[in-house]
Amino acid sequence: MNTIRSAACLALALFSCAAGAADLTVRVTDIKSSQGKIMVAVYDSPGGFLRSPVQTAQVAAAPGSVDVVIKDLPAGGYGIALYHDANDNGKMDRNFMGIPLEDYAFSNNALGEMGPPSFDQVKLALPAAGATATISLR
């Protein structure tokens, strides 16, 4: 009897966690080639922005656009940073001054001044029903 009760409680707990989770579809546009991968990082706070993503994903690059689905995020505010790892070396290549050599972008197509945009500039709302964010590489 305890086994059945434990299994029922576990199933209920798993169902209630999944019910509060949302999927965020990131549509990446303006991809120039099929070389490498599109690397996506999702952040949930100003303190963790560009340091500690809550989720990451990658997909093969394709000319034009690709969709990357980030599953099971709690509803809330998120910022997205992404880049096209064209040479597939697993990192954002930069020049000697630290300026990115590979195409990159942020949610809201935000631009920074003399550096990346702030979390407030890239923050978007993810409702419980999920959402799609379209981001253009540059």
| Measured distance CA(63)–CA(52) in Å, rounded | 29
Q: Is the sign of the CA dihedral 75, 80, 60, 30 positive or negative? A: positive
What are the pLDDT digits (tens) for 93-109? 999 999 999 999 999 99
Q: What is the mean pLDDT of residues 24-52?
A: 98
Is residue 19 very low, low, confident or very high in pLDDT (cuts 50, 70, 90)? low
Query: pTM of the entire structure?
Result: 0.84
Digit-coded pLDDT (tens) for 33-46: 999 999 999 999 99
β-bridge partners, 94: 100
What are the structural domain ranges in the chain?
Answer: 22-136
